[in-house]
């Protein structure tokens, strides 16, 4: 929680439910995503913190993919698109991912 409070101080985060290594998109033939740290606060906002230690190709595409999977996971069956939960995805790198 302290990490999220430090990165996003304006949100006033006071309580989170943390799920380490949360797996999303568990479909048989599709690319799964395992979140390093997934949290939800009492207001229903979702936080995903990803830590990368090695450079990977196409960081922007990776960011988009994680966002799309998080959006899909935030909807319950039968909910309309306007019910997508507010989501914050934070990537932490020890280097410039675009440099």
Q: Which domain holds residue 14?
A: 2-75+82-92
12: CATH:
3.40.1350.10
In a domain, 10, yes or no: yes
Q: Radius of gyration (Cα) for the chain, nearest Å? A: 14
> pLDDT value at position 73?
83
Structural domain count, the chain: 1
In a domain, 30, yes or no: yes
Q: How confident is the model at residue 25 (pLDDT cuts 50, 70, 90)?
A: low
Q: What's the whole-model pTM score?
A: 0.76
22: Cβ contacts below 8 Å, ≥ 6 apart: 34, 35, 38
In a domain, 67, yes or no: yes
Helix (H, G, I), strand (E, B) or coil at 10: helix
In a domain, 99, yes or no: no
In a domain, 97, yes or no: no
Q: What would the pLDDT profile of 37-61 be if each residue is shown by its tens digit?
A: 888 888 888 888 888 888 888 888 8
């Amino acid at each position: 929680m302290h990490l999220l409070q430090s990165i996003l101080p304006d949100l006033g985060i006071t309580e989170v439910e943390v799920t380490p290594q949360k797996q999303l998109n568990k479909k048989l033939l599709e690319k799964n995503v395992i979140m390093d740290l997934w949290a939800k606060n009492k207001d229903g906002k979702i936080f995903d913190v990803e830590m990368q230690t090695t450079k990977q190709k196409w960081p922007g595409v990776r960011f988009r993919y994680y966002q799309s999977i998080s959006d899909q996971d935030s909807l319950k069956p039968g909910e309309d698109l306007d019910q997508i939960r507010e989501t914050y995805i934070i990537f932490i790198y020890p280097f410039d991912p675009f440099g």
